[in-house]
Structure 1
Amino acid sequence: MIMGKSRARKFKPPSFSPTVAAKKQPDRSGDTEDAKNVDAEELLQNLQSPSAEVREFACASISTLVQQKQVIPSFLQRDAVRCLGPLLLDKCLSVRETAAGALRNLSTCGGYDVCDDMVTRDIMTPLVALLKECTTGLDANMEPTIKTKDLSKKCVEDIAIQAINVLWNVCESSSTALTIFNKENCLEIVLQCLSKFPNNMELAISAAYCLQTVTEDNPELLASFDANSLKTLESVLLSPAGNMEMRHLQTLVAGAVWNLKEKIPSSSQADSINAILRILAEVLSVDSGVFIAEMKETETQHLSAFAAEAETEEAAAILEEATLNEENGMIDGAIKEKKPNDISDFIPPANEEVRQVSALLVAQRTALEMIVNMCCSEDPSDDEWEAMSSSDESEMCIENSVTNSGGQLLTPLCLSDEVHSALLNHTIPKKVFEKTAFPSSSAVEICKQASAWKPLIAKMYTVQLRALTCLHNILSMLDIEDLGGAPALQELALHLSGVVFTQSDIPKKDDFLEAASSAVRALLQTMASKGIPQCMTPEQIISLGEACAQSSNTSARVNAVSIIGITGSVLAKAESTVDILKSIGNFLLGVATNDSSLVVSGAALDAIFDVYADGEVAEKAAVEIKLLQNLKKIQPLFKTKIRKEGKEKYSMDQLCVLDNVRTNLRRFIPYLENVEKKFKP
């Protein structure tokens, strides 16, 4: 592992924002760059104040301000990290908490680069020291010392929540932080925080996120896990899932156990993997639409109870006041009407029902992410050109191992017997299919009605996107018999048609287009390779391709030309398809000529080779759209762009495929020249 190099994950877990609030907010009326700089300068100076109240207010204000990304540079330029770091060990506990909250928001909102900079500025030294002090205070059986006599358990845990989130963020982004984590034996700290799940779920979930992060690709840490460590994880997994927050916690811990599978004895591997998949299956089995309706009904009942209690207490108070006033001769024998308080005054500060729904949706997303990672190669392509050239390889690529499948070359994927069996035993493919549907319209409508519920809508759509991505991997991994055979695939094709085409207009969001087109591509490729009739019409496929071609997402555009290529290859073997093959050819030529990315242009050319390489119907269509003349125009431009842009913009794997396409284009043109002669009158 390279020191200081950022560690990228396919899916990053959600960030948490601390609820640290300043006693009053700074004046934002002059929100110019100069005002921001003045704010930063003044607040950082106040961190040195002898007054604990001033230091706390400054920390809380910084915590609020850095949630605006444009403000972060003004704080970093003034060395905010080194100013805040010492306050993690401030003699005032509330200052410690707000300082940790400010660093938490800075690391969450700043992203990888800011986290790496925080580590460079030595945030780990005070952070680790703070966490070690917190774990001492977390021991409920300890005798109070001079330092901790005023340190309530609740206060310690509040500080620990903020600090653990900072630790999680920096370890997520920086391998240097991860090295320090290993060296300082921070694993014990995280496990102790995790063990508090019966009484402090927020702390335990934060620790579980951190644990899942630090156990990924970290062999040095794996050696630190002993029987007691594994027992702590086991206690979480085996505890009753009384609510959705517990299911969320168990899902995260299952992810950490998956990362630790090398530590599990081979004799227990199957049981452990089966236990992990059981937890994921249980989470995915919950119908979020039904659960949202149940929670909303529960909330309504609670609000009614609060309202009734409030009215009772209010009436009693008024009666008591009236009685006293009457005795004192202050009223004329009548109780004056008093305006009741607004019902919102009686709503608990934390909405338990919203929290439970959110926990379910995040747990389902996490479960799907785990299945994606289980069903992918050890070295994923990082959203590169997934569809590689299907024709002869050039000299440059001769040593690269590729596998031809239905006109495409995909990264080889494999599943262990234990994972394969567990996926099928717990009907994971079926559960993933179900989650690819659009969120329940009634659930969406419920969430639209209240501001506290509205953020859940985005979470529901994120679950759908993850499920579509997961479906792509499952289709690439499993045999059609495992998926239910040809009828099940045709049913799935109809379902995906509904997802993509039943809207009044095809959704234009890049993330949806990427996920949906990825799933459609995998399905059509599988069906084509087995000769299963497709249920989507060519017109539907072209409309999806056109929508994806307008996307700013490179992967969605690659998926588009791949889908068109697969469909064209099938149609080229049928009769009376010249007109649709002409439409497909014109679409692919347009992409090959105009797309800004060589990766997408290369994928379009590769699809052209597959569609028009064989068959009289395809050859006739090629002649009618003047494919030869168009490719002769594209050839020198494509070659020049590879030479000028290749090494600067593209990876070696991508360059290998592009070189392959260039070579095949050179060979394909003579073939088309012979086709032209064949059809020449």
Structure 2
Amino acid sequence: MKQFCQSSKKMESPDASDRKWACVAVSNLIQNDPSTRRLLQGKNVVGALISRLTDSEDEVMVEAMGALRNLCIDGGYDICAEMYNKNILTPLKTFIPKVSEVLSQYLENPKTAPENAQRLMYDFADNVITTLWCLSETSNKALNAINSIDLIPFLMSFLGSRDKLHIAPVLAAAQCLYVLTDDNDPAISSLKSVAGYMSCLLTIAQSSDQHGNGKGKDLNDHRQTTLRVLSAGIIRNISPLPSSVASSGDIDKDIVLPLLQPVVSSVSLPDAAQRAQLLVDALAADPQIEKLSLKHTPKSDHKSTYDIELEQLEGNLRTVHLALEILTVVCATLPDPSAGAEEDENEGEDEDEVMEDDEPTMDDINVKAGVTLLPSLVPSLLSLIQPTSLSFPPLAAPSPHPPTTSVLSAIHIGAMECLNNIFLALATSPNPSISADIEAGRKVWNEVWSSLGVVGTELGLGQEKRLQMWEIGVGVLWGVAVVWKGVLSPTEEQIQVLIRFCDSTSDEATKVKCIGALECLAQDPQSISSNQIIANYLISLLPTTSSASPTNTESIIQAASALIDIYSDETVPYDINFRQGDMLAVLVSSVENIRKAVKGIDRKKPGGKDLRRRGDEVRDNLIAFIQYRRDLGI
């Protein structure tokens, strides 16, 4: 803190070199150190740096911009919100035409600009653009303010001149475009209004990894791949493209999947984690490697070869995570299997008949095409969900390199989200050839359980990433159990884990996923004992005349629906559990309380109308099921 006070005073010094030194020193203090960053935030470090953006000396302004950019990256939402509230956009707006002018001059006469001047321009442009895309994710108010600047021509100028520029500002521009075109109509309209912009993006996305200079690959190749991935993401964000730009082909099939599938298949996470650990150990063991301190002359690029390789490794991993982020959206365009009943406004016994008579829509065709394509991703995704030694460190032993741990856990979660959407899609639009491959189903089932087993159940404070893996993972298990219903034989431990997680989670959607998975597992004809354990648990969730339900209404509805589905065929071997357990009597005693629970659903709450419709349907089905079982007389 004493060092910051000294730096803060020097920010106001009449000597430009002192002001520059102060900006660099503050940047070094705050970078990758959350505790110091929070302390300095209380001392108005943001305001002090913003004031230097109008400094009379360019080098001071550049260093202040770099420090603010690092704050955005490392500090997250709170820092960005503070910057916006302290009016950082006013000086940033003035920088955009200045950067454009210098960029144009350099492109016209590149030999006239000294190398250090080029580097200064690249760094400054990178810092301005990166700060803008971080701010755009802060709030709708900040996004609207950035929309009013009309950044699209400025950003596309970097992509259009990519062969003549350093990759860093080009990549920052692509990242900013990717963020701005995510469900943001003003940016999408601006980008689509110029055919040349879209042609440029298509050219980048469909280009090879080879560098334009013909020298082949170098240590920064991940940046070229990242640029292509970002371009594919932008194209997808602004789709559909005008017919004048793109053919009638499928963007996902023809551009996105062929580009992203090799990216997610290209990395070995265990090898990456092992290499990161070796580099961290080397940094700790080498006495010649010193951290930059305030005693040294400030240099913003003071990095050892170990630091540089760690950054390159992290860059490769972040490219994989970005590809997964886009793939998750591709997979999410396919419907959720639980949505069918909720979306149908018509109630009647001829619903299936109506569906059969409908002409297939373009959405139906796209779903079928997607279901055919997506399973090819599964082997790579199963590999990416397996945690490494650095992925989920316990609280008692923090990560030796937090940036690597952060991106590894993000990759595992992203891959699990992709699997979740793939198997929900397959559950919605069954593919007989996939369902018939029982060994494949068992492999997927076991791989997901293997991943969750390594993640472990330390799910308390500070272990939120582990919890995310479990919440998404049970959705994958549900989808897999639907696709291979009746052929997966779970272990008793797996059943008990699902039951315990269902009881412990406070997230209602996760409870429903657990119940859905258990429902499918109970329908294995060979697992009569498993069926009994699951059925007894589901029965325990129902409100009866003698006991209240321990869970919420949505879970009650799901449990009742599950029991109907499990015991709808009295000829299966496990039906003996229904008869011997006198489950019919329990269901009879639950009908009135289920009716009351359903009637108590607030239609005005988000999702309330759909849940009420679903509840009414399940209640009616339960009454009909009870009558059906009574009529059987067994």
- Cα pair 2:391 2:408 within 8 Å, conserved: no
Q: Would you say 1:238 and 2:192 are equivalent positions?
A: no
Secondary structure at the counterpart of residue 594 of structure 1: coil
Fraction of identical pairs, as percent: 20
Once the 2 structures are TM-superposed, how far is the Cα of residue 175 of structure 1 from its aligned partner? 4.0
- Separation in structure 1 between the aligned mates of residue 380 and residue 76 of structure 2, nearest angstrom: 30
Instruction: Assess, with a 3 A threshold, how the Cα gap between structure 1 residues 174 and 601 changes in structure 2: closer, same or farther.
Output: same
2:483 corresponds to which of 504, 526, 546: 526
Once the 2 structures are TM-superposed, how far is the Cα of residue 211 of structure 1 from its aligned partner? 1.2
- Cα pair 1:471 1:519 within 8 Å, conserved: yes
Superposed CA offset, 1:307-353 (max 9, x none): 9xxxxxxxxxxxxxxxxxxxxxxxxxxxxxxxxx9343698256343
- Separation in structure 2 between the aligned mates of residue 571 and residue 426 of structure 1, nearest angstrom: 26
Aligned to 2:117: 152
Q: Would you say 1:603 and 2:582 are equivalent positions?
A: no
- Cα pair 1:165 1:206 within 8 Å, conserved: yes
- Cα pair 1:510 1:552 within 8 Å, conserved: no
- Separation in structure 2 between the aligned mates of residue 513 and residue 50 of structure 1, nearest angstrom: 56
Give the alignment of 1:513-662 within 5 angstroms.
513-528=470-485, 533-537=487-491, 540-568=494-522, 570=523, 579-586=532-539, 588-589=541-542, 593-595=549-551, 598-611=553-566, 615=570, 617=576, 619-620=578-579, 623-624=582-583, 627-628=586-587, 631=590, 634-635=593-594, 638=597, 642-643=601-602, 647=604, 650-651=605-606, 653-658=607-612, 660-661=614-615
- Separation in structure 2 between the aligned mates of residue 561 and residue 450 of structure 1, nearest angstrom: 34
**364-373 vs 228-237, greater mean Cα deviation:** 228-237
Once the 2 structures are TM-superposed, how far is the Cα of residue 373 of structure 1 from its aligned partner? 0.8
- Cα pair 1:375 1:413 within 8 Å, conserved: no
Give the residue type in structure 1 aligned to 2:137: E
Aligned to 2:294: none
Give the residue type in structure 2 aligned to 1:190: L
- Cα pair 2:100 2:154 within 8 Å, conserved: yes
Once the 2 structures are TM-superposed, how far is the Cα of residue 579 of structure 1 from its aligned partner? 3.0
Superposed CA offset, 1:381-419 (max 9, x none): 9xxxx84696998xxx6589xx99xxxxxxx99868689
2:456 corresponds to which of 499, 507, 512: 507
- Separation in structure 2 between the aligned mates of residue 291 and residue 188 of structure 1, nearest angstrom: 41
Aligned to 1:370: 326
- Separation in structure 2 between the aligned mates of residue 342 and residue 167 of structure 1, nearest angstrom: 39
- Separation in structure 2 between the aligned mates of residue 628 and residue 444 of structure 1, nearest angstrom: 43
Two-structure CA RMSD over aligned residues (Å):
5.2
Aligned to 1:216: 182
Give the alignment of 1:350-499 within 5 angstroms.
351-377=307-333, 387=338, 398=346, 428-439=376-387, 455-478=403-426, 485-488=434-437, 490-499=439-448
- Separation in structure 2 between the aligned mates of residue 358 and residue 513 of structure 1, nearest angstrom: 25
Q: Please identify the structure whose Cα radius of gyration is greater.
A: 1
- Separation in structure 1 between the aligned mates of residue 422 and residue 85 of structure 2, nearest angstrom: 40
- Cα pair 2:192 2:198 within 8 Å, conserved: no
Instruction: Assess, with a 3 A threshold, how the Cα gap between structure 1 residues 150 and 607 changes in structure 2: closer, same or farther.
Output: same
Q: Would you say 1:270 and 2:225 are equivalent positions?
A: no
- Separation in structure 2 between the aligned mates of residue 391 and residue 421 of structure 1, nearest angstrom: 24
Instruction: Assess, with a 3 A threshold, how the Cα gap between structure 1 residues 598 and 202 changes in structure 2: closer, same or farther.
Output: farther
- Separation in structure 2 between the aligned mates of residue 483 and residue 248 of structure 1, nearest angstrom: 36
Give the residue type in structure 1 aligned to 2:200: K
Q: Would you say 1:292 and 2:237 are equivalent positions?
A: no
Aligned to 1:254: 232
**490-499 vs 225-234, greater mean Cα deviation:** 225-234
**243-252 vs 57-66, greater mean Cα deviation:** 57-66
Give the residue type in structure 2 aligned to 1:208: A
TM-score (norm 1): 0.67
Structure 2 gaps, min length 5: 211-216, 291-301, 353-359, 458-465
Once the 2 structures are TM-superposed, how far is the Cα of residue 212 of structure 1 from its aligned partner? 0.7
- Separation in structure 2 between the aligned mates of residue 117 and residue 347 of structure 1, nearest angstrom: 29
- Cα pair 2:178 2:237 within 8 Å, conserved: yes
Instruction: Assess, with a 3 A threshold, how the Cα gap between structure 1 residues 175 and 672 changes in structure 2: closer, same or farther.
Output: same
TM-score (norm 2): 0.72
Instruction: Assess, with a 3 A threshold, how the Cα gap between structure 1 residues 521 and 607 changes in structure 2: closer, same or farther.
Output: same
- Separation in structure 1 between the aligned mates of residue 258 and residue 10 of structure 2, nearest angstrom: 52
- Separation in structure 2 between the aligned mates of residue 261 and residue 93 of structure 1, nearest angstrom: 41
Q: Would you say 1:135 and 2:113 are equivalent positions?
A: no
- Separation in structure 1 between the aligned mates of residue 329 and residue 587 of structure 2, nearest angstrom: 43
User: How many residues get paired?
Assistant: 574
Give the residue type in structure 2 aligned to 1:579: Q
- Cα pair 1:101 1:162 within 8 Å, conserved: yes
Structure 1 gaps, min length 5: 1-21, 28-38, 308-340, 405-411
2:149 corresponds to which of 184, 203, 206: 184
- Cα pair 2:158 2:170 within 8 Å, conserved: yes
Once the 2 structures are TM-superposed, how far is the Cα of residue 167 of structure 1 from its aligned partner? 0.7
Secondary structure at the counterpart of residue 130 of structure 1: helix
Superposed CA offset, 1:565-617 (max 9, x none): 2233x25899787733543434544999223x544444334434434566464
